[in-house]
Chain A
Amino acid sequence: MVYRNKGFRFVMSFIMLLFVLACILPFILLISSSFTSEAALTLNGYSFIPSEFSLAAYRYIWSVKENVLRAYGMSFLITSVGTALSIVMTMLFAYPLSRKDLPGRKALSFFLFFTMLFNGGFVPTYLIYSNIFHITDTIWALIVPYLLMNAFFVIMVRTYITTNVPFEVIEAATIDGSGEFNTLVKVVVPMSKPIIGTVALMTAIAYWNNWTNGVYFIQVKRELYGIQNYLNSVLSNIAFLQTHSDPGIQITELPSVSIRMALAVIALLPILLAYPFFQKAFAKGITVGSVKG
């Protein structure tokens, strides 16, 4: 125990409680509203306790479940393929960089590192991917741009290998006739499991939450949308109605008040349910991957 002053500890605990509530209550609002009848919502608005319980929103979503399920399927597909490719590329790049005997290692490190200092920004990136590589409206648009290899993660993994995999072990494997690929797969990867786990988790969250690539690069093939983009298009459809219809009609008069909240709950569910299982690793990923470059 750090502070002996009981009053101080009590006040700080109380303030902490308020912040904890601030993190939980918005979700209660979301969930409660999704179970409230449309009429009660129009009368009382969103509230923390359903004033009139109803499953209408979920029943409606069930009737369009193909769309929701497909979006879910896309999210799972993109997250798993993207994370797997990303880990393979990260390992393949980090291991040679960790080898102090590799000729040209400094230049290669700089080539990677410079991308963290300077970037071309949205316009050239967008124009190059869409006009030169014609990635628009393909599944690759959701996997490749921005997310496939994170320079920061590569440096984290490289540092981990340098400090945790003794060079003697790699050398011994080489003397025993192991080729470099074999050494990487049989020696380095098993010894780097903790950092691979952290990087995989952070990458998977990045893929699961990404919606900007869908907004940038998916123009007509809406069936490629993951759950985030599906949610987003429901929101922007309503925004669209607001700007283009009679200004006297409020967006909220559309019969979709509880459905929107129910969709958000459905999109939230897997990550909230999975969170207790990966929360330790997530907190670790944050502290490992932040300050130290």
Chain B
Amino acid sequence: MKAVRLNSPGKKSTFAKLKQYLPLYVMMLPGLIYLIINNYMPMAGLLLAFKRVNYSVGLFASPWCGLQNFEYLFSSSEAFAVFRNTILYNLAFIILGNALGVFIAIALDAIHSKFFKRFSQVVILIPYLLSTVIVSYIVYAFLSGNNGFMNMTILPMLGLDTVSWYNTPEYWPVILVVVYLWMTFGYSSILYYSTLIGIDKSYYEAASVDGANVWAQIRHITIPALRPTIITLVLLAVGRICYSDFGLFYQIPMDSGLLYSTTQTIDTYVYRSLINLNDIGRSTASGFLQSILGFICVFIANTVVAKIDRESSLF
């Protein structure tokens, strides 16, 4: 790091130095206060998982109760299902999302027409721009029991019986993965594509002069060039494997209780336990586990990223 100094502070007293930098510290004050309220107080609030929360005496003055909340959490089979759902959904999202992103990026690269290439890039980002509320309306237009496009048009065309989608949990792992991919494939494609356009085109020319076919070009030029991006994106997603998009799992299934067995993730479980059931014990305990596991995952993922590609790691 270059040693840049204003007015050689070495000769100044600490007081003079503080006075010189005081305006800068004052500038940071609003941000610091916000971080304390929005981030650090909730971190301290994780201790609530070891308390029997009693609103009348105040949050932090509530009595300690050891591991009771955790014993209570694991006394239900629900907790395991919720952690399992979260991790399995994330694994599906990571694998399929990145595979599709790479595939579409290659497709974008292969398109000949400049206009269509540009147009595709614009259009595939639209779903990523929408709120989950809007997406839930779109999904509803397809899946609604009596009017949905699936039940009224597609299934009769295939000669199949109609399905009561919002009451049948079996279908939801597929539906949610499809909706997730629809919402995010544009985003990951654009990311991978921005790496692809950086590849020196002469590699491809040299390869085709040497008689390499398309697959060989993709395998030996494109994929190796994308590898650092793929690894980084996958590992960063692995770091968030205990977290789920609340909107996707709460809003898209329209909060339908019949679907909880396959749509409930840690985030919706914590929310519903606290708000609907007022079950502070279970929600604080599962929230605590999510935060701690999440931290461990981020830490491990970042250590691995840093080993592979210093530039891409968070720290």
Contact = CB atoms under 8 A, between A and B. Distances in A.
Interface of A: 1-5, 8-9, 12-13, 15-17, 19-20, 22-24, 26-27, 29-30, 33, 41-42, 44-47, 88-90, 92-93, 95-97, 99-103, 108, 111-113, 115-128, 131-133, 144-146, 148-149, 151, 154, 167, 171, 174, 179-181, 184, 205, 208-212, 216, 228-229, 231-232, 235-236, 239, 243, 250-253, 257, 260-261, 263-264, 267-268, 271-272, 275-276, 279, 282-283, 286-287, 290-293
8 contacts: A13-B111, A33-B141, A42-B147, A46-B152, A100-B1, A115-B35, A118-B298, A122-B274
Interface string B201-236: 100100010000110010000000000010011001
A287 B191 contact: yes
B315 interface: yes
A178 B5 CA distance: 17
Contact of A271 (B1, B34, B129, B251): B129
B287 A122 contact: yes
A4 to B, nearest CB: 5
B214 A252 contact: no
B191 A131 contact: no
A12 B145 CA distance: 35
B88 interface: no
Contact of A174 (B6, B182, B255, B257): B6
A216 to B, nearest CB: 8
Nearest to B186: A23
B68 interface: no
Interface string B34-53: 11011111111110100001
Contacts of A235: 133, 136-137, 140, 254
B187 A286 contact: yes
Given A2-B204, A45-B147, A45-B152, A8 B110 contact: yes
Contacts of A275: 126, 129
A3 B204 contact: yes
B285 to A, nearest CB: 9
B256 interface: yes
A205 B129 contact: yes
B137 A261 contact: yes
List of 6 A-B pairs having minimum Cβ-Cβ separation, nearest first = A124-B45, A45-B152, A120-B42, A93-B31, A209-B131, A180-B23
Given A118-B43, A250-B145, A180 B125 contact: no
Interface residues of B, number: 119
Contact of A47 (B111, B149, B151, B185): B149
Contacts of B238: none
Interface-centre pick from A20, A148, A184, A228 (highest chain B CB count, 10 A)? A20
Contacts of B125: 279, 282-283, 286
Contact of B121 (A118, A133, A283): A283
Nearest to B126: A23
A20 B42 contact: no
A283 B153 contact: no
Contacts of B132: 209, 211
Given A95-B27, A210-B131, A293-B313, A120 B45 contact: yes
A2 B41 contact: no
B111 A16 contact: yes
Nearest to B221: A2
Contacts of B34: 89, 144, 148-149
B92 interface: no
Interface string B160-196: 0000000000000000000000100111001100100
Interface stretch (B70-78, B79-87, B101-109): B101-109
B124 interface: yes
B112 A1 contact: yes
Given A20-B119, A23-B123, A112-B35, A291 B110 contact: no
A44 B152 contact: yes
A231 to B, nearest CB: 5
B151 to A, nearest CB: 7
Given A19-B104, A108-B28, A121-B287, A127 B147 contact: no
Contacts of B129: 205, 271, 275, 282
Contacts of B40: 115
Contacts of B48: 123-124, 127
B124 A23 contact: yes
A264 B138 contact: yes
Contacts of A42: 146-147
Nearest to A146: B38
A154 B127 CA distance: 26
A288 to B, nearest CB: 10
B42 A124 contact: yes
A228 to B, nearest CB: 5
B130 A250 contact: no
A241 to B, nearest CB: 12
Contact of A232 (B187, B251, B257, B299): B251
Contacts of B42: 119-121, 124-125, 128
B42 to A, nearest CB: 3
Contacts of B24: 95-96, 99, 102, 180
